[in-house]
Structure 1
Amino acid sequence: MSECAKLVNSGMVTVRVKAASKLDKAMADARKAAIEKRELDICEVANYLYCGVRVIGGSETCLQFLEKNQEKYNIQVLKRLAVSAAFHTRQMESAVAKAFTNVEMQRAVCNVYSNYTGQVLPTKRSDIRGAVAKQVNSPVKWEQIQQVLFRKHQDEKFPRFYEVGPGRQLGAMLLQTSKKAHKSYTHFSC
């Protein structure tokens, strides 16, 4: 992924949209602006965080276009992220083939949800490898995974949500999505 990051100056922005927002049109127009400058036209959703909040990965030209035209497309919030590239976009395509070539995959002992599909990972090792590799250049579907979990447990107590690591992004998303689910959230720092 770090090799792919060197191919084009790119990054990511978090956006908050509402029903009247024209995010798809904004991204299409940003891609056109990059093509006119004869630059790589990467501008796509990289993360579906929760309802109305997305992370857009794009070339520097595309991100600047979005920033300059935020009001025109009725985008409520647009905030740059401190990252070195447009991860989970087609900029990472060449990393997919190399990503898990020599990694031995084992079947999970519990349900593991794929960022690529938003569903439980398949059980065949070859299918697991393919699904995990596709996560490198495909949007992360946090919102869709949360919806599956919430629908599955509508009439029962929510399962426990554990976040392990230095940040609390999962907790922040759960709080925005479901205060009831957030009550079952625990964070463990590293």
Structure 2
Amino acid sequence: MTRIVVFPGQGSQTVGMGAELFRAFPQEVAFADAILGYSLEELCLKDPQQRLHKTEFTQPALFVVNALAYLQAVEREGSRPDFALGHSLGEYNALFAAGAFDFITGLRLVQRRGQLMGRADGGTMAAVVGLSPARIEDCLREVAPGEVDIASFNSPEQTVISGAAGAFERLESALESAGARQVVRLRVSAAFHSRYMRAAESEFATFLSQFEFSPLDFPVVSNVHAMPYAEQGLHECLAGQISRPVRWTESIQWLARQPMPVFEELGASKFLTPLIQSTLRRSADA
């Protein structure tokens, strides 16, 4: 059996997440509060100022909840997984799990990432259901050339697009005419994983250069390459991940070829589990 842990990213946050974890790991929560300058438990459990869905708050909150869920799983299982991967922000949890950096360093990284990504505005994103990525790319070229990119290949049935808000109304009509069952706008403040994030990527690359990372204890599959991280590739991939698409479907397909793969989602929700199941079903039918 090949044990694979996966971590969700932005969009999986919910008010109330982490309640049992905060009680189980008070020292880590205290460290997080000191670094962030606010009560993470109050943000996640009550969100009195309506900030949990703002990127600069969402990303640190999810990192901490996902990280504590992993620590709890290790305590429960008594062993580490064989592979890890995470969706966008969740990739930081996969790297934390594999020992690339400690909890505090990981939190500092995602805090800065969330600040830079949260500063961008003016774009939007949508999930397209029931249309192949190739046909979606055709529509982007025909209707919104240079305005909208594919942000995430989530499963054979779901692809996320990202770009200029002004292009989406005409693009939605084109996608539906091409056969999309649904085009669902996402509640985001900017066009993540698109060309519009390159300034944030550049600034984050400079920030990343201050850090040295440890060799991984087990392989982590990269969003950028859909393959395990190369020994020297962490800085480049983590910076490039901000503007490049998440190759989730290919990552799951690669892992599905391992001996008797078993996927376990850890963190704020089971956001990724249906996507993984969809990809595995399609691969089995192929």
The interval holding the TM-score normalised by the smaller chain is 0.7 to 0.9
Partner of 1:157: 260
CA distance in 2, matches of 1:26, 1:7: 25
1:90 aligns with 2:203: no
Query: Which one of the candidate residues 166, 172, 183 is aligned to 1:67?
Result: 172
Distance 1:5 1:26, change over 3 A: farther
Cα drift, residue 6 of structure 1: 5.2
Partner of 1:170: 272
On the 8 A contact 2:136/2:175 being kept in 1, the answer is no
Residue identity (%): 22
CA distance in 2, matches of 1:44, 1:18: 15
Distance 1:42 1:105, change over 3 A: farther
Unmatched tracts of structure 1, length 5 or more:
33-40, 180-190
CA distance in 2, matches of 1:107, 1:51: 33
CA distance in 2, matches of 1:7, 1:140: 19
On the 8 A contact 1:21/1:73 being kept in 2, the answer is no
Matches within 5 A, 1:19-58: 22-32=135-145, 41-58=146-163
Partner of 1:131: 237
RMSD: 2.5
Please give the secondary structure, in 2, of the residue aligned with 1:64.
Answer: helix
CA distance in 1, matches of 2:266, 2:274: 14
On the 8 A contact 2:133/2:159 being kept in 1, the answer is no
Matches within 5 A, 1:5-20: 9-18=122-131
CA distance in 2, matches of 1:83, 1:164: 23
CA distance in 2, matches of 1:139, 1:174: 17
Partner of 1:108: 216
CA distance in 2, matches of 1:97, 1:20: 27
On the 8 A contact 2:144/2:171 being kept in 1, the answer is no
On the 8 A contact 2:151/2:162 being kept in 1, the answer is yes
Cα drift, residue 65 of structure 1: 1.8
More helix by share: 2
TM-score normalised by structure 2 residue count: 0.52
Cα drift, residue 115 of structure 1: 0.3
Segment of structure 1 superposing worse, 94-103 or 115-124: 94-103
CA distance in 2, matches of 1:102, 1:57: 30
Report how many aligned residue pairs link the two structures: 166
Cα drift, residue 91 of structure 1: 0.8
